[in-house]
Structure formats: C-alpha cells, structure tokens
Structure 1
Amino acid sequence: MDVLVCAGCGAELSVPVERVALPPEAHASGHHAWMPALMEPGTYAVDPDPWGRPWRRREEIGASEAAALGVYAPLYAVATGPRNVIVLAPGDTRGTRLLPERSGDSCLGIVAGDEPSLLCAGCGLGVGFREDDCGVWQTVRYDPGGVVRRSLGVPAPAAPVRPLPPVDPEGGWDLRWTAAAGTALARLLAASGGRAPVLPPASRPRCSAGPSNGCSRPGRPARPSAWPAPACPGRTPTSSSSPPTDGPESPGGRPGTRSPSRSPPPSGPT
C-alpha cells in the first residue's frame, strides 16, 4: 500500500492506495453519457502513454510520430502531454483544493485545462486535474512532477470480487466490457504472428470469429490457440516483488509512480 504525497511540502494527498493495472477502458469515451469512476476505491494506476495537453492534430505529426506516442487510429488530435500520470478515484484524494475555473472546454462538468485544477491545500502547488464531464470517466489525475509515492510497507487487503454484467442498465453493452474485449482480440492477433487463430469450437465466442479470421495474412498456416475463460473486468494488481520505477524517488525511498490519460481528444470539425 502507498500514500501519494505533495512533492512540494510532503503533505498527504490520498488515502492508502494499492497500485493496479490501468483499466483497458481508460481512454474510452462515453460520448454524452454520464460516466462512473474509472478506478476502484483504494486503487491507483499509472498511464505510460502521453496524456492531455498539448494536443496536436494528427495530420501535423504524421502516422509514425503518432505511433511513437501510442496512437495508431486516425484520430483528429493526439495527446502529447506528460507520461506516467497517476489516476485514482476522486473519493480517495485528500488535502487538495479544487479550482473549477481552470477547466478546459467542457459540457456539463469539468475537464483538464492548461493549468492544474487541483492544488495542494498545504503549499498551493499545482498537483493535478479533476475530471467529471459527460462522456469522461470520473477521475483525479496527479501530475508526475507534483506528487511522489510513499510506501507504507504493508500489503493491500484482499479485494472483493464484484462481477460486472456485460449489459448496462439501459440495455446496451457496458463500455468496460467492450474495451476489454477489444484489448483481448488485439493481443490474440498479435500473438498469432499473422496466422489465422484456430479457437476450440466450444469456447469460441461468435463475435470473435469474424475479426480474428479477417486479420490473418494470406498464405500463413493457422495457429491453434486457446480462448481463455471469461473474466470480469476488475482489479489487476501489479507484482509486489517488482516495484514500479517510472517515477521519482519518494521521501520514503522507494520509486514513485504516476498515472493516466486525459479525456478523449477533441472532435474534428463537422
């Protein structure tokens, strides 16, 4: 378990939290729908990809530079902000002051703007951003230069398993399931090496047959693969034996961490 503290004065800016894997739906948008908290209570994650401003139009930077930033789809704009931003649930923050007037262009809530909208209540250092606009996951994102991690030296308690139905209350596919399914298919195709995956008939979801068979290279033999049993999206703790090294040293001595990405890039002109 860790506590995130202010890089300026050392004040605690979170409750004890456990580092977990960044959810695959972290960069997904819910359009005009209300979005819940991205992270489970008591957890935080680190986003290795660039997040937030400055945004650059994809046609200005080209496909190769966009790929270096982790973007392969033809998006209108690409985030070129800091990497290793820390993301956690808003209810797990402590000791911060919100400046909503620093929000960027938004609809019904606030999003990250040019300056941090969260300040350390102790010393006034800008430490991150609060987001809760429509179509955006409810998050707090701490800047990698504004906070450091202080290890508590104790293991995290066992997390309860909370199954997530694939269909949301309004009858549509849950965004977290669709993101997880897309991630699983991409990894399956990458592992196939360009050969058509051959899935056991009893375990092959009908929705996967078309995408997986359509992306194989002509002339390559099929590659047998096992379709894993369905798993509910949820916590995926990182290994405690391999502490993260993508952030500065904390006052306690172990490497700090920072996490994730901003709301979806602005839409192109219509």
Structure 2
Amino acid sequence: MTVFRCRACHRAVTPSVTERVLPDPDRDEEWYRPKAPETDADGHTDQPIVRMAPGTFAVDPEPSGPPYVLDGSSGVLIESGPSGTVVLNPGDGIGLEAHPDVAMRRGHCCGMDGEWGPNLVCTCGAVMATVYSDCYQVQELRLQPDAVERCD
C-alpha cells in the first residue's frame, strides 16, 4: 500500500492506495466505469465515467495538462504539462482545497475541468493537484509529481 504526502508539509493527501496499470483509453474493460449511463435532456449524468477505482492509483508517463503546444505533424494542440502525474479516483484526495485563485477553478456546469492547470492545493497552500470533475470529461484526480512524495 502507498500513501502520497505533500512534499511541503508532509501531510497525507491520499489514503492508502494500491498501484495498478493506467487504464488504456482504447480498451473500455480496464476503466472503472466503462459505460456512461443515460443522460438527461441537457446531456448531464450523475454517474460519469471514472478512470480509476477507489483505492487505486497509476502513474502516467505521458505529459499531462497545460501548457498546450501545437503538434507540428498533426496541427493539433497537445498537452505538454508534467510527466509522471499520479492518477487517482477523484474521491481519494484527502484535505485538498480549491485553488485560491478563482481563475484556476475554471469549469463548466458540473465541476472543475482542469484546463488551466492545477486547481487544488494542500491545506498548507502548496499547489498539489488537478481534479477533472465536469460532466463532459473523464473523472480523475492527478497529483503533481513535484508536489508529492510517495511513501510505500
């Protein structure tokens, strides 16, 4: 079992969690909730697709989040944020608070979208994580690799 702690104040920011492989977006059976439930007339659901089961985590080796850069070969904006983010179930963050800068808490109708970067801080004020909690996106919590220490 692993606990992640704030690198600044050493307070636990997750419960004990178990590592697993990051679910592949092309293979639905590896996702925690592989099928989205029915939506209302506005396209909302109270049971969004969640990447990680409660009590599990994975480390994403790919860049995640902003800044976004133009990929020369495809002409598409791609994420170039930090590699090695710790991906968790959104409910597995402990004592994390909304970023004090309201602009970082950007979202749409149902939650924060993480489009501008980390939107959660530790109680000590250290910028800690990005929660993706809006209804149009996969739900997950990503800890910034330079903000946490892993305790096995």
TM-score (norm 2): 0.77
Asked if residue 48 in structure 1 is aligned to residue 61 in structure 2, the reply is: yes
Could you tell me whether the CA contact under 8 Å between 1:56 and 1:79 is conserved in 2? yes
Q: Which residue of 2 aligns with 1:6?
A: 6
Would the alpha carbon gap of residues 107 and 56 (structure 1) be closer, same or farther in structure 2, given more than 3 Å must change? farther
Could you tell me whether the CA contact under 8 Å between 1:103 and 1:117 is conserved in 2? yes
Asked if residue 145 in structure 1 is aligned to residue 152 in structure 2, the reply is: no
Q: CA deviation at 1:117?
A: 1.3
- Matched letter for residue 88 of structure 2: L
Q: Which residue of 2 aligns with 1:90?
A: 90
Q: Which residue of 2 aligns with 1:18?
A: 18
Q: Which residue of 1 aligns with 2:99?
A: 99
C-alpha distance in 1 between matches for 2:70 and 2:57: 30
Three-state SS of the structure 2 residue aligned to 1:114 is: coil
C-alpha distance in 2 between matches for 1:104 and 1:23: 26
C-alpha distance in 2 between matches for 1:120 and 1:48: 23
Which of the pair has more CA radius of gyration? 1
Q: Which residue of 1 aligns with 2:32?
A: none
Q: CA deviation at 1:115?
A: 4.7
Q: Which residue of 2 aligns with 1:134?
A: 135
Could you tell me whether the CA contact under 8 Å between 1:4 and 1:150 is conserved in 2? yes
Deviations 1:31-57 (A, max 9, x none): x66423210111000111111101112
TM-score (norm 1): 0.45
Identity of aligned residues (%): 31
Deviations 1:239-263 (A, max 9, x none): xxxxxxxxxxxxxxxxxxxxxxxxx
Q: CA deviation at 1:15?
A: 0.6
Q: CA deviation at 1:142?
A: 0.4
- Matched letter for residue 141 of structure 1: R
C-alpha distance in 1 between matches for 2:61 and 2:75: 19
Three-state SS of the structure 2 residue aligned to 1:149 is: strand
Would the alpha carbon gap of residues 22 and 33 (structure 1) be closer, same or farther in structure 2, given more than 3 Å must change? farther
Structural RMSD (CA) = 2.4
- Matched letter for residue 82 of structure 2: P
